[in-house]
Amino acid sequence: MHRRLIALLASAAVMALGGGPALAQGKSVKVSDGVVKIGVLTDLSGTYSDLAGEGSVIAVQMAVDDFNAQNKSPFKIEVIKFDHQNKGDISANKAREWFDTEQVDVIVDLVTTSTALAVMEVAKQKDKITLVSGAASTPITNEKCTDTNVHWTYDTYALANGTGRAVVKQGGKTWFFLTADYAFGHSLEKDTSEVVTESGGKVLGTVRHPFPGSDFSSFLLKAQASGAQVIGLANAGNDTINSIRQASEFGVTPKQSLAGLLMFITDVHSLGLNYTQGMYLTTGFYWDLNDQTRAWSKRFFDMKKRMPTMVHAGDYSATMHYLKAVLAAGTDETKPVMAQMKKTPINDFFAKNGKIRDDGRMVHDMYLAQVKKPGESKYPWDYYRIAQTIPGDEAFQPLSKSRCPLVKK
């Protein structure tokens, strides 16, 4: 384990000792049980472990470390983690245990829609906060929204709005979807289909594969037989990696184009530029965007030996914003902390003038990126050309279309 990570974890362990209110910036901060406890509930061993996983734990701990350094450790903070195995029932049971017996105040990450929705419901019942960075489905801030949740990093509406629109504009008029058969895949397929149709394209069909999957041959053959110009990959993580690799092996590409509707820099790194060159993708973060993103990402790289995904960056940003809200509110009670979070703009390396709406959606700019050709990459992890910055109010679903009962129309 890297020395810096050991130091960070040791620091968290020391901070977990003791109790009672703390004094911060001249005022008393009332912290329940003497500790603000953050639970990172993520995929530590499965399909999404590369894009979230241990990297999410590192990112959250970095936020804690930076917050304490900037504010002279105003109150005690502890970070704990658990592998939810991408299963809603396991996630809900662990969340209930954390809230009831371990005094966890906030749960972060929640990659996979099924885990996010299950834990959001428990958190609502227990009046606790969830900060979703890893899950994508739009129901999280629509019909399933809660007043104790913030959806931080991206969602299927924004992904479809960026990649789907761009590919149709580039001439990809006919589509066939290869979709992960669970809530996230269904949501991504639905949102992208609507964008494709609105942009003048046509959806020729869809096939749904088990989650997680490994052999995509039969599904790719159906996509090939459709004659569609574009095969939309409504999946993520290892499912996307395997789909792209097998499409090349079976000769599906380059005759038909692939649209990775949720791709991460770790996917591109695993596959290599020969497999991914020219593909468009939509992301909420790119490590090489500016001096601020590079500085934070290089710190992350020192510990993880991989550049961060947008999930990792979102976990850091959400955790830091939460801790600042606890400090400003003078308490870790849910209602005042959520009120403080919603009234305070987010300005950090991840988001500029970000805002949390009534539906729990954190609105920030998204980026349409195109993967570089091998000859265009000048240094390690130099993978993207940013083709367009999509303003947050355009990237995410407008409140006028919201199905969230918290939104007043």
pLDDT, tens digit (0-9, with 9 covering 90-100), for 182-193? 999 999 999 999
Residue bearing tokens 């362990």: 13
Residue 17: per-residue pLDDT: 31
How many other CB atoms are there within 10 angstroms of residue 27's CB atom? 11
Which helix H or strand E contains 61, and what residues bound it? helix 53-71
Residue 4: per-residue pLDDT: 41
Residue 408: per-residue pLDDT: 86
Residue 142: per-residue pLDDT: 97
Residue 275: per-residue pLDDT: 94
The CA-to-CA distance between both ends of the chain, in Å, stands at 51
- In this structure, are strands 280-283 and 366-371 parallel, antiparallel, or unpaired? antiparallel
DSSP string, 190-247: HHHHHHHHHTT-EEEEEEEE-SS-S--HHHHHHHHHHT-SEEEEE--THHHHHHHHHH
Q: Cα 386–266–140 angle (5° rounding)?
A: 80
Query: 29 and 330 in contact (C-beta within 8 Å)?
Result: yes
For domain 3-154+288-360, the question of CATH label 3.40.50.2300 is answered with: yes
- Read off the pLDDT band of 27 (50, 70, 90): low
Query: 150 and 141 in contact (C-beta within 8 Å)?
Result: no
Report the alpha-carbon distance of residue 229 to residue 133 in Å, rounded: 32
Residue 289 three-state SS: coil
pTM for this predicted structure:
0.91
- In this structure, are strands 77-83 and 280-283 parallel, antiparallel, or unpaired? unpaired
Residue bearing tokens 């403080």: 340
Residue 214: per-residue pLDDT: 87
Structure tokens at 50: 């590369």
C-alpha torsion sign, points 373, 379, 383, 387: negative
**Measured torsion, CA atoms of residues 32, 35, 36, 37, in degrees rounded to the nearest 10:** -110
Each domain of the chain, given as residue ranges in start order, spans 3-154+288-360, 157-283+365-392
Structure tokens at 17: 């000792």
- Read off the pLDDT band of 369 (50, 70, 90): very high
**What percent of the chain shows pLDDT beyond 70?**
93
**What is the rounded average pLDDT for all residues in the chain?**
92
Report the alpha-carbon distance of residue 302 to residue 201 in Å, rounded: 44
pLDDT single digits (tens) 261-281: 999 999 999 999 999 999 999
Q: Does 245 score more than 90 pLDDT?
A: yes
pLDDT single digits (tens) 191-239: 999 999 999 999 999 999 999 888 999 999 999 999 999 999 999 999 9
Residue 62: per-residue pLDDT: 98
How many other CB atoms are there within 10 angstroms of residue 32's CB atom? 14
- Read off the pLDDT band of 1 (50, 70, 90): very low
What is each CA distance from 213 to 101, 189, 222, 263, in whole angstroms?
36, 17, 16, 16
Q: Does 11 score more than 70 pLDDT?
A: no
Q: Does 15 score more than 50 pLDDT?
A: no
Q: Cα 260–262–263 angle (5° rounding)?
A: 70
Q: Does 160 score more than 60 pLDDT?
A: yes
Residue 25: per-residue pLDDT: 47
Q: Does 292 score more than 90 pLDDT?
A: yes
Residue 12: per-residue pLDDT: 39
Smallest CA-to-CA distance from 405 within 54, 24, 142, 138 is with 142
Q: Does 172 score more than 50 pLDDT?
A: yes
Average pLDDT of 150-155? 98
Query: 340 and 325 in contact (C-beta within 8 Å)?
Result: yes
CATH superfamily of 157-283+365-392: Response regulator (3.40.50.2300)
Report the alpha-carbon distance of residue 219 to residue 303 in Å, rounded: 38
Residue bearing tokens 């939104």: 407
Phi-psi region of 214 (alpha: psi -120 to 50; beta: other; left: phi over 0): alpha
Q: Let me know if the fold of 3-154+288-360 is the same as that of 157-283+365-392.
A: yes
Query: 295 and 287 in contact (C-beta within 8 Å)?
Result: no
pLDDT single digits (tens) 59-118: 999 999 999 999 999 999 999 999 999 999 999 999 999 999 999 999 999 999 999 999
Report the alpha-carbon distance of residue 160 to residue 238 in Å, rounded: 20
Q: What are phi and psi of 339, to 5 degrees?
A: -60, -40
pLDDT single digits (tens) 389-406: 999 999 999 999 999 999
Residue 9: per-residue pLDDT: 38
DSSP string, 321-350: HHHHHHHHHTB--HHHHHHHHHHS-B-SSS
Average pLDDT of 373-393? 97
